Amino acid sequence: MGGGCENSSAPRAEGEAWAGSPCDERLCSSLPLPALIPVTALCLGLFLVGVAGNVLTLLVLRRCRELKSTTNLYLGSMALSDLLILLGLPFDLYRLWRSRPWIFGQLLCRLSYYLAEACTYCTILHITALTVERYLAICFPLKAKVVITKRRVKAVIGALWAFALLSAGPFFFLVGVEQRDNQTDFSRECRLTPLATESGLLGIMLWVTTSYFILPVLCLNVLYGLIGRALWRSKVRPQGPSAALREKGHRQTIRILAVVVLAFIICWLPFHVGRIIFINTQDTSTMLFSQYFNIFALQLFYLSACINPILYNLISKKYRAAVYKLLLPRRSGKRAFSATRDTGGYTETSASIKKEYITPF
């Protein structure tokens, strides 16, 4: 689920309005106003940066021929997933300021939870599948040339989306528009349904979500250990020019993926810790701590959805060049002509582009 305004460790509507703040038709906030304003400002900043960055990533990967690789198919799909997560942020901000009444209807209430949860699953599945692909390309390069094709990768991506959407399905029915009393429309909230709280399904789904984090992280650690060992062995063996170029491409890709995985763990670990705290909370003081902790986790959750384009731009020269070419096509053309003239007619060969499974960035 998307972090949650009132309580990111469980469906968001489970949170109550802040005890010391007014709760009327103009304002029914989940935080005191001095905390609400900076949190809102940060969320808006993350929304703008994240939407712009992920849209730019999709455009760059679609239009730049140099970046059309199997690895970048995964990264493009992840950008779409992050974009869908960010589209739920305005609803979170609405809940921060007005936990009730909910004015967007039953469908958007359920859909906002469902899509955030499904895209969360989808992102970690993509990262895991992409790491498996890199493992095959580095440890079994000959087999990877045959097995890893764009057509098969597209099929894998479709399967990952289908599995994520299916496994998040119960969340569509865990929340709904409920009224605290039957007399006023003001009491309408997008919150947990009685089915979720009484059947124990909520607790089961929260542990399923946590396992979606823990198991892939363990798998990633094993894969990166095997990849690191393979790269170390190739370093100590005699190499020709092509092998050295291939190893350099592998190291560049692994460096980017390792940073993406590290950012993912840092941003999402508090989110899952907060959920565990919430489902084991009984007393008021711990609930108060949980509410503040999960507001912090909310910021990191949305940071994870906007940080990848920033990381690509910082690490990958190819990505920076592609963005520059997309945004400033005339200047990039002049820049390329100048570089060719200054280097005595040097131009990038098509051979480096053809080895896309080796050097996608």
Task: List pLDDT tens digits, range 36-86.
Answer: 889 999 999 999 999 999 999 999 988 887 778 888 899 999 999 999 999
348, part of any domain: no
pLDDT score for 49: 94
Q: Which residue has the higher pLDDT, 149 or 346?
A: 149
pLDDT(88) > 80: yes
Rounded distance, CA 218 to CA 264, Å? Answer: 13
Write out the residue range of the structural domain in which residue 276 sits: 12-323
Report yes or no on 178 lying in a domain.
yes
* Cα 128 to Cα 154, 167, 236, 242, distances in angstroms: 15, 17, 28, 28
pLDDT recorded at residue 63? 83
Residue of 64 and 157 predicted with greater confidence: 157
206 pLDDT more than 50: yes
Residue 331 lies in a domain: no
Q: What is the DSSP letter of 85?
A: H
CATH number, domain of 310, equals 1.20.1070.10
Residue 113 domain-assigned (yes or no):
yes
Mean pLDDT, the chain, whole residue set: 77
pLDDT value for 82: 94
pTM of the predicted model as reported, rounded to 2 decimal places: 0.79
Among 245-249, 291-295, 304-308, 349-353, name the one with the lowest average pLDDT: 349-353
> Is residue 339 situated within a structural domain?
no
Residue 84: inside a domain, yes or no? yes
Measure CA 337 to chain center: 37
Pick the more confident residue, 251 or 242: 251
Stronger pLDDT, 39 or 204, i.e. the higher one: 39
DSSP string, 285-330: HHHHHHHHHHHHHHHHHHHHHHHHHHHHHHH-HHHHHHHHHHH-HH
**Is pLDDT of 340 > 60?**
no
Instruction: Give the per-residue pLDDT at 248.
Output: 67
pLDDT of residue 235: 62
pLDDT digits over 296-319, tens only?
888 898 999 998 888 877 777 888
Question: Which residues sit opposite 98 in a β-bridge?
Answer: 28
- 122-156 residue pLDDT tens: 999 999 998 899 889 888 888 888 888 999 999 99
pLDDT category at 200 given cuts 50, 70, 90 is confident
Per-residue confidence at 157, pLDDT binned at 50, 70, 90? very high
Q: What percentage of the chain exceeds 90 in pLDDT?
A: 21
Residue 343 lies in a domain: no
Structurally, the chain folds into a number of domains equal to: 1
| pLDDT beyond 50 at 331 | yes
User: Region 344-357: what's the mean pLDDT?
Assistant: 37
Structural domain includes residue 354? no
pLDDT of residue 350: 34
pLDDT at 95 over 50: yes
How much is the pLDDT for 163?
95
* Residue bearing the bigger pLDDT, 235 or 316: 316
pLDDT band at 276 (very low <50, low <70, confident <90, very high): confident
Q: What is the DSSP string of 189-251?
A: EEEE-HHHHHHSHHHHHHHHHHHHHHHHHHHHHHHHHHHHHHHHHHHHS---HHHHHHHHHHH
- C-alpha 149/C-alpha 90 separation (Å) is 38
